Structure 1
Amino acid sequence: MNLSLKILIFMVAGALVGVLFLQFGDYQCAKGITKEACSAIQDDSWAYTYFVNGIFDVGGSWFINALKMLMVPLVLVSLVCGVSSLADPSKLGKLSLKSIGLYLLTTAIALTGALTLASIFKPGVGMPVGEATFDASDKPPLTKVLIDIIPTNPFEAMVAANMLQIIVFAILIGLAITMAGEKGKRIGNWFNDVNKVVMELVNIIMRFAPYGVFFLIAKTFAEFPFSDLAGSLGSYFLLVIVALILHALITYGALITFLARLNPINFFKGMWPAMLTAFGTSSSNATLPVTMRCVEKNLGVHRNTYSFTLPLGATINMDGTAIMQGIATLFIAQAYSVDLSMAQLLTVVLTATLASIGTAGVPSVGLILLAGVLTQVNLPVEAIGMILGIDRLLDMTRTAVNITGDAAVSVIVAKSENELDKDVYNHPKIHTEFDD
């Protein structure tokens, strides 16, 4: 059985098992008690103690930790190899401009589409505001982010998994290897050997992907209160899901078709394993090893390109998050009966698009960005508390969209730089994604 199908089967099985645990927990609750009391009863039950908070939690955490373990060495080694193999170092400047330009473009399109859908369907109308609360973390100023791009201690950056600093350090090492002549080539060959070892490590960990996804999905569905999908909150949930799917299929499909002149169906086939993994892990950075493998083995993108575009995209590209921010902003405005002017809507687009780079590497970046957007248009930040209950499932879906956008930009940039193997792209090895 190929890996994609196996992950999909285990994902569905995990969802079913999680729903069964949720129903068992609801059965344990006495009628008429509060939601908080019911949650306490569920958490104390043997089923939740030994399975949901035990086996599922440990198994899922192991898988995510294993993927995160690969993240820093994979990005560092792959990017050093890619940069050091460039015959013309000035080519790196073109890669940077094209990649960042496309990432900003897709983020702006995502926000515009989200605001349009929210304006048409009005998910927040009639939503009871209640006593929603949310404590927003302070977003660092742009100057601080720009200063911190250059690492004062690269080893500290690796320990903290600060991806922007790691990217800068790896690029400088790669350029130094290129400029060091014969001695540099020896170091470059060493990095190439290390890269092969890291890729084999990816293969080893991906054999456990279906089981890791099963544990993660089962725990999520066992804890997810489906009662929260009632009324306007359900409308918000469905609208975000539809917007994410439309953006992935239409925006990325159109960019692949018209900019790269390639068949978008092959693109989505090749990215299927990474999309499933992203859905299960809810982390673009944790999914990065799988994304790199799919882009190289299934889509034919050369390492010179994807070693730069994918780590950068996992750090700054937030199309799925942008869609959530756009719809959430109008949802909250409609719930509070606030009409946003065209100027305010443009402010939302501009703020969220530019901030997608400015807040790179900050924990809970989506909520921090949303808090900043709400502040710009004078909406209460504490209203984010209304949507926190269902954000876990939305986070899973938008992560899958984020990594798909990273791959789409990588394919387009690779095609423009003649770094794409068309034979591999046109015949993606769906049944042997991670075989050499």
Structure 2
Amino acid sequence: MSHQKLHGLTRRIMIAMASGALLGILLNLLFGAEGLLKDYLTDGLLYVVGAIFVASLKMLVVPLVFVSLVGGVTSLGNLSALGRMSVKAILLYLFTTAVAISIALILATVVGPGQGFEAGVADVSFQGKEAPPISQVFISMVPTNPVAALSEGNMLQIIVFSLLFGIAITLAGERGRHVLNLFNDLDAVIMHMVEIIMRLAPYGVFALIARTFATQGLDLIVPLLAYFLTLTVALGLHAFVTYPLLLKLLAGLNPLRFLRKMRDPATFAFSTASSGATIPITMRTVEAKMGVDTSVASFTVPLGATLNMDGTAMMQGVATVFIANVYGVDLGVTEYLMVVLTATLASIGTAAVPGVGLVMLTMVLNQVGLPVEGIALIIGVDRLLDMMRTACNVTGDCAVSCIIAKGEGALDQVCFDDPHAGSVETATSDLAGAVAQEKA
């Protein structure tokens, strides 16, 4: 099969994203945010197609995480390996978060976004939410009703229940093996469902991107250009320098090959602005394209989607400096260190709270004595930046998964080095061949 055909889907997704952005900008410039086009196209057709696409992705998240994590835990065999892998993953996620916000603070301090900015341009208000105490976060990790946790999509509770269920299957011996076979079969079926959804991706991506740019426009970015560009550069440095460097130093993997294989999950993450909704694509990428064993990927990917807040941490760093400059507050070394510490620890403490980015930013601003009302200044461009932050977060999930897998001897190096591994076209061709062989 030709290289061109293998990467046909990725190319169509990229074309859809670029076309959607162009259409959205044109709609905003020519017709504005009101009128019949808004009612029937922007909030009509584009909204419906995009919402259905995101819903179809979210539909697969809970069954995929539950089934693959149970199967992954049982495939480890040695339960001590699970504990070792858990500690490695959590520490590595916290380390990358600390590095991320440090990069953001340094860059923002050099650029100085917010200097000369008129705070009066913001005509919106923001009411910060109070984050739960850390004790409550740990208590709420254990589900009182596993079925409710699955139906509500509470990822931390699903992870805990799946780990316990997988451990119980391992301890059950021969009886547990029958249950494990069922989960392995379900995992194969769900992965084929993911491939079906991926074939619809260009249409969903086009609708999501077009509607975002049609409603946001470029006029919101201009007054906050320094803030927008500073955070964009910071995210780029973290995604294209920090993660590849860690891959090379800690796992000896080729960073360029990794980045090439990140196109699909990064595009999905950018379009949906949701790490959770991107879990099916992320998991399929690290397993089928990067060669990470299911025993590792089924744990590190859902955990990363819940705890990995690198992109959000960078937003907090740049936003803190921006708001401090707007209100004329000088931050010292102590305040900067407090921002790093608070944002890093908050990536765990607020993992289960909706609107986690703004909750975490509220905590950081309170910690250094800055007015929470300053968040209202950046809300206008937060949607576009949230899309980029999510792409950065997903890149981190994949990088950490590869590093952990390499350290645990659970990475297929041949698969990682193969530029054609894991394409939807290849998977579909293999499935058709298997069916034809079975009929014969």
Q: TM-score, normalised by structure 2?
A: 0.94
Matched residue, 1:85: 75
User: Secondary structure of 1:168's partner?
Assistant: helix
Which of 79, 93, 96 aligns to 1:106? It is 96
Matched residue, 1:190: 182
Matched residue, 1:326: 317
| Aligned: 1:76 with 2:82 | no
Matched residue, 1:305: 296
Counterparts of 1:9 and 1:282, CA distance in 2: 18
Matched residue, 1:21: 27
**AA partner of residue 138 (structure 1):** E
Counterparts of 2:196 and 2:221, CA distance in 1: 38
User: Secondary structure of 2:119's partner?
Assistant: coil
Q: How far 1:175 moved relative to its partner? A: 0.4
Q: Which runs of no fewer than 5 residues in structure 2 stay unpaired?
A: 428-440
Counterparts of 1:87 and 1:152, CA distance in 2: 27
| Aligned: 1:53 with 2:43 | yes
Counterparts of 1:391 and 1:172, CA distance in 2: 38
How do residues 116-131 of structure 1 correspond to structure 2 at under 5 angstroms? 116-130=106-120
Aligned length: 419
Q: How far 1:228 moved relative to its partner? A: 2.0
Provide Cα deviations, 1:361-399, integer angstroms capped at 9, x if missing partner: 211100100011000011111110100000111000010
Counterparts of 1:174 and 1:417, CA distance in 2: 19
Matched residue, 1:282: 273
Provide Cα deviations, 1:29-79, integer angstroms capped at 9, x if missing partner: xxxxxxxxxx5xx1xx11111100000000000000000000000000000
| Aligned: 1:136 with 2:142 | no
CA 434–68 in structure 1, closer or farther in 2 if over 3 Å, else same? farther
| Aligned: 1:223 with 2:215 | yes
Q: How far 1:350 moved relative to its partner? A: 0.3
Matched residue, 2:12: 6
Counterparts of 1:294 and 1:391, CA distance in 2: 27
Matched residue, 2:158: 166
Counterparts of 1:429 and 1:363, CA distance in 2: 38
Provide Cα deviations, 1:179-236, integer angstroms capped at 9, x if missing partner: 00111000000000111111111111111111000000000010113122224x1010
Q: How far 1:129 moved relative to its partner? A: 1.0
| Aligned: 1:339 with 2:320 | no
Provide Cα deviations, 1:328-377, integer angstroms capped at 9, x if missing partner: 00100011110011111100000000010111121110010001100001
Matched residue, 1:199: 191
Q: How far 1:25 moved relative to its partner? A: 1.9
Which of 65, 70, 73 aligns to 2:55? It is 65
Greater mean alpha carbon deviation, residues 426-435 or residues 242-251: 426-435
RMSD over aligned Cα atoms: 1.1
Moved over 6 A (4+): none
CA contact (8 A) 2:23 2:210 kept: yes
Q: Which runs of no fewer than 5 residues in structure 1 stay unpaired?
A: 27-38
Identity of aligned residues (%): 52
Matched residue, 2:431: none
**AA partner of residue 22 (structure 2):** L
Matched residue, 1:258: 249
CA contact (8 A) 1:3 1:431 kept: no
**AA partner of residue 103 (structure 2):** G
Provide Cα deviations, 1:118-139, integer angstroms capped at 9, x if missing partner: 1001011011111552111221
CA contact (8 A) 2:25 2:218 kept: no
Matched residue, 1:33: none
CA contact (8 A) 1:123 1:235 kept: yes
CA contact (8 A) 1:269 1:430 kept: no
Which of 382, 386, 390 aligns to 1:399? It is 390
CA 405–24 in structure 1, closer or farther in 2 if over 3 Å, else same? same
CA 434–354 in structure 1, closer or farther in 2 if over 3 Å, else same? farther
Matched residue, 1:385: 376
CA 156–431 in structure 1, closer or farther in 2 if over 3 Å, else same? closer
Q: How far 1:433 moved relative to its partner? A: 4.4
Q: TM-score, normalised by structure 1?
A: 0.94
Matched residue, 1:375: 366
Greater mean alpha carbon deviation, residues 72-81 or residues 419-428: 419-428
